[in-house]
Structure 1
């Protein structure tokens, strides 16, 4: 349906529940047919009048607090800009055709804001569920008190539903901020000079699953050399993204002055020891020397890089694996190893979201990766990266973040 063809006035009037619209001054703007029917009012009795001029508290009952509670809820919405779900309220409503006579009613209200471009509340949406008949009902199954308790439980369930929705929205906002933060801190591939490389980052599926995966590519001093690294921080959300940024920046700086990748990870491990949230973080770093055709590497508890040779053979660089960062109370020098490559080879670094699956041995994931790299070994880094992600990530997305770097040697 074309959105511009929808008659939203007709939709508002046809809403099945009681709904009224109020200005920030608590003056009626409009009310739907159900609101008018159940309150016994006409539209001219409401529009342009103050809420509590139409529905005051019963002056004959000093214990009546329904309208005062409603005003407090509406003021909270105006102050916070957030929805407010009220507990079940008793209201004494003056009969429109019998002035001075008051009828006991039970309403369960929800008040929500409509915000303008500046974030200020323009309109208050006042939705009410009429549960008076439920309260008044008597029968073999329960007393009036039981009915009241049932209505209270119903209201509490609605409050929990409303709270869950607000939590979901808060987590969604956190995920969005974490993704922006993550993207801002991850480097562009231009940092590896004239060498062809592709980088990819795929966030996990779900609002709560922004993690701390990261990658880094830097030019190294002393000849035609670059450093390529990936890492993974345990945890989710903004905290993990913040730790990720600290570790990536530290390793980037350390790699430029370290004698080799093992020393770079040694220093990073010492730094991780004083960073809250860096416990059990993993990383692997490689120093690629294009003049000597060598790759020197070291791993701190991370899945091994894959070296794809021109003939299709895949070599996993797993001869220098050590525990994760900050795993030892006293630092111990980390191992490093090296291997050679020929022109046309491809180096692939990745995080565990690419190869690990629940209830599956990681060797199966590594074999799947090797097969995909062999099939697409002649492709340039950009299409190769896309092909690997397409074949290895589940159709609906992975439950863990995935970082991927492809460098043509």
Structure 2
């Protein structure tokens, strides 16, 4: 038996709590009657207008920071796709019929993303609970008078303290992001020409303050001559700690590749080393050795998404025949597999980290198919830099990266 046909628009407007829908540009798309009643605004005064044109900060009171804090929260939700519960906020609300006259109000907001079918953020749901009367706690009630004034003072103090804590956390996260990005730039190798063919590398940090600096890339012509080792990796975790682990593992794999017989042996050495590095467990990595003379690719993967090979006729092959668990996943050491495939001149090899293909609530095969289609469309160009930029432009979601992304494109 099927359930009732529910009109969710009617449900939205019947909600007893105050809720509004905002676009990603922070324009009101809709608001229920409870929100309009609480804010003292008509539908015409709200819908289709920018949120801070409807509710600006009080220009005469620097302590009125509610709107600035709300802006930061809404942007975090739009960029990250994650809900954000705000601390108690003070808002000075201008009377719509009395310009320049402001009323001190206290609201407790929650902001939630509304996702489109592709996992991107389509709208922002803004729910507000007003606690102004609780803060004011007027006298005349049981325990009123002085007790009410004490309660008001305590609640106001706690609200300001929470605001200050939130601001300190935001500043700390911003500083960590800046330091981590500088550390990332210092540890990733500067792009340099290969002996045989051209390559392009890209690193894009995530939009969030902490979601940065776990990914790396490396490519180097090997001393044996006629071969190039290419690798990408992804450390679990974010921030400065992940950046430090990334630097150790990238250097270790780069060194191992110079003396190993092939990528499987290089990843075996990296796996043994990773056991001694705190935070390295479950790191994924993929390594490809290019033999320019034999026109072959030898590859191995430690739990990493498969590299992509575009053939001159536009068809795409996933290098997925030598996949093993991530680093540190096995309790005992075991040899890692590797596989070989031939390539024709004019082919394109693409290595990447999962930030390029993964979307929330989407199967990874969908992301892999999206990558293959994009490589097919743009891979005929003889400029790897153009292809790298096209892939990033086409594959990064409109909401921005929620995980950092490393990318290597090599024209074979």
What TM-score bracket applies, with the shorter chain setting the length? 0.5 to 0.7
Correspondence 1:394 to 2:397: yes
**Which residue of the partner structure matches residue 188 of structure 1?**
190
Is the Cα contact below 8 Å between 1:196 and 1:407 reproduced in 2?
A: yes
Give the 3-state SS of the residue equivalent to 1:156 in structure 2.
helix
Give the 3-state SS of the residue equivalent to 2:392 in structure 1.
helix
Is the Cα contact below 8 Å between 2:137 and 2:152 reproduced in 1?
A: no
**Which residue of the partner structure matches residue 348 of structure 1?**
350
Number of residues paired by the alignment?
282
Shift of 1:193: 3.3
Shift of 1:393: 0.5
Any stretches of 5+ residues in structure 2 without a counterpart? 1-58, 65-134
**Which residue of the partner structure matches residue 368 of structure 1?**
370
Give the 3-state SS of the residue equivalent to 2:304 in structure 1.
coil
State how 1:17-56 maps to structure 2 within 5 Å.
none
Is the Cα contact below 8 Å between 2:297 and 2:342 reproduced in 1?
A: yes
C-alpha distance after superposition, 1:343-402 (max 9, x if no partner): 100000000011111111111101100100001111210010010111110123111111
Give the 3-state SS of the residue equivalent to 1:189 in structure 2.
coil
Correspondence 1:254 to 2:263: no
Is the Cα contact below 8 Å between 1:294 and 1:339 reproduced in 2?
A: yes
Correspondence 1:233 to 2:235: yes
With over 3 angstroms needed to count, the CA separation of the structure-2 counterparts of 1:323 and 1:152, relative to structure 1, is: same
Correspondence 1:143 to 2:145: yes
C-alpha separation between the residues in 2 aligned to 1:212 and 1:191?
25
C-alpha separation between the residues in 2 aligned to 1:351 and 1:345?
20
Q: What is the TM-score when the length of structure 1 is the normalising length? A: 0.67
Any stretches of 5+ residues in structure 1 without a counterpart? 1-13, 20-133
**Which residue of the partner structure matches residue 329 of structure 2?**
327
C-alpha separation between the residues in 1 aligned to 2:160 and 2:291?
63
C-alpha distance after superposition, 1:102-154 (max 9, x if no partner): xxxxxxxxxxxxxxxxxxxxxxxxxxxxxxxx999633362311221121111
More RCO (CA 8 Å, sep 6+): 2
**Which residue of the partner structure matches residue 299 of structure 1?**
301
C-alpha separation between the residues in 2 aligned to 1:159 and 1:394?
36
**Which residue of the partner structure matches residue 131 of structure 1?**
none
Is the Cα contact below 8 Å between 1:209 and 1:400 reproduced in 2?
A: yes
C-alpha separation between the residues in 1 aligned to 2:411 and 2:275?
34
C-alpha separation between the residues in 1 aligned to 2:341 and 2:244?
34
Is the Cα contact below 8 Å between 1:223 and 1:291 reproduced in 2?
A: no
Is the Cα contact below 8 Å between 2:181 and 2:213 reproduced in 1?
A: no
Correspondence 1:171 to 2:216: no
**Which residue of the partner structure matches residue 403 of structure 1?**
406
With over 3 angstroms needed to count, the CA separation of the structure-2 counterparts of 1:162 and 1:378, relative to structure 1, is: same
Correspondence 1:16 to 2:61: yes
Give the 3-state SS of the residue equivalent to 2:350 in structure 1.
strand
C-alpha separation between the residues in 2 aligned to 1:18 and 1:324?
51
Shift of 1:164: 0.7
- Return structure 1 stretches of 4+ with deviation > 6 angstroms: 134-137
Shift of 1:216: 0.4
With over 3 angstroms needed to count, the CA separation of the structure-2 counterparts of 1:337 and 1:135, relative to structure 1, is: closer
C-alpha distance after superposition, 1:180-211 (max 9, x if no partner): 10111111221633520000111111112113
Is the Cα contact below 8 Å between 1:136 and 1:144 reproduced in 2?
A: no
Q: CA RMSD in A?
A: 1.8
**Which residue of the partner structure matches residue 156 of structure 1?**
158
With over 3 angstroms needed to count, the CA separation of the structure-2 counterparts of 1:279 and 1:17, relative to structure 1, is: closer
With over 3 angstroms needed to count, the CA separation of the structure-2 counterparts of 1:206 and 1:136, relative to structure 1, is: closer
Shift of 1:15: 3.5
With over 3 angstroms needed to count, the CA separation of the structure-2 counterparts of 1:162 and 1:339, relative to structure 1, is: same
Is the Cα contact below 8 Å between 2:227 and 2:289 reproduced in 1?
A: yes
Which has more radius of gyration? 1
C-alpha separation between the residues in 1 aligned to 2:339 and 2:137?
80
C-alpha separation between the residues in 1 aligned to 2:333 and 2:354?
25
**Which residue of the partner structure matches residue 51 of structure 1?**
none
Match of 1:264 among 257, 263, 266: 266
State how 1:80-229 maps to structure 2 within 5 Å.
138-140=139-141, 142-190=144-192, 192-229=194-231
